[in-house]
Amino acid sequence: MRNMRRLADNKARLKGNFSVTDSKGPGSVRVVYNLPCVLSMIIDQWKESKEYGKMRYIRITMPPGDWIGGAGPSLSSDEPYPPIKQEPEMPYFDKETAGLYNSFVNYYIHQVNAMRFILGENYRVTYADKSGVLMAVESISGICGVIEMAPYNNTVDWEESILVAFEKGYVRIDLPQPLASQLAGTVTIMRDNGNSTPEKIRPSMPRISAMRRQAMNYVSVLKGECRPPCGSREALEDLKTAKEYITLFCGQ
């Protein structure tokens, strides 16, 4: 049932990521895939066919770097900000621990969510090293994964990546700077099932700004054209994972 829901969600995402063009004749359709859709489709196909064995490991890495990527200055105004009511402090954390929690959510909550998206199921935090670099997890079905936080620094580059390993192949995504406009990420697919010549391929991805695509999807959700890719219940699970990590990190 979980896989059926996942496939249905993938189809819903794909439905919101295509455009119609007449470049090859009236009514022809050009499908524009984004990185999450490609990754999700490959994972679902490999799980269903079992041709490349079981999923074994996920590694998500995001070292600090130049996340702007040459983007222009932000648009601003001298108008004052409206009054904003701050969320109350968390009763289960002291002030210092709450600061660590907020920092973790600010920097790495997307990676926390990506781990659940790739696994297709919930997971628990099993280890938090005291240097703050590594968070290890284990899914409900026993798949292990890690999120590497700031293992090194970049000054003029951005090296965010996701590796999804199966027994007989892997899928790797390398993401561009979040603000880089019209710069696609890269997908590397390695397949070696022992029955055919091993191969490594890199599909060409459309050059669409990630931030522009995010804004377009947001507007589509507000207009009722599609469902949010991440609902409030899943977001709550992410915050629970963040709390679990910080609690383990601080030894509480």
Task: Assess if residue 226 is contained within a domain.
Answer: yes
Query: Is 77 inside a domain boundary?
Result: no
| Residue range 82-102, pLDDT digits in tens | 998 888 888 889 999 999 999
> Domain holding 138: CATH number?
3.30.360.10
* Whether the Cβ atoms of residue 202 and residue 188 lie closer than 8 Å to each other: yes
3-state DSSP assignment of residue 94: coil
pLDDT exceeds cutoff 50 at 34: yes
- The answer to whether residue 13 sits within a structural domain is no
Domain that holds residue 191: 35-70+88-249
Q: What is this structure's pTM?
A: 0.83
pLDDT at 215: 86
Question: Do 158 and 65 contact (CB within 8 A), yes or no?
Answer: yes
The runs of H, that is alpha helices, within 19-135 are 35-49, 95-119
The answer to whether residue 176 sits within a structural domain is yes
Domain count, the chain: 1
- Is 153 part of a structural domain of the chain? yes
Does 57 fall in a domain? yes
**Cβ-based burial of 108 (10 A; exposed 0-12, middle 13-18, buried ≥19):** buried
Distance CA 190, CA 187 (A): 10
Determine which helix (DSSP H) or strand (DSSP E) holds 62, and give its type and residue range: strand 55-62
pLDDT score recorded for residue 113 = 94
- pLDDT tens for 70-86 read 887 888 889 998 998 88
Q: What is the largest CA-CA distance in the chain?
A: 65
What sign results for the dihedral spanned by CA atoms 99, 85, 235, 42?
negative
Write down the pLDDT at residue 75: 81
Give the rounded percent of residues in the chain with a pLDDT score beyond 70. Answer: 86
Q: b or e along 224-242 (b: 16 or more beta carbons within 10 Å of the residue's beta carbon)?
A: eeeeebeeeeeeebbeebb
**One-letter amino acid identity for 179?**
L
pLDDT of residue 135: 98
Q: Is residue 163 part of a domain?
A: yes
Residue 105 lies in a domain: yes
The DSSP element (H or E) to which 133 belongs, if any, is: none
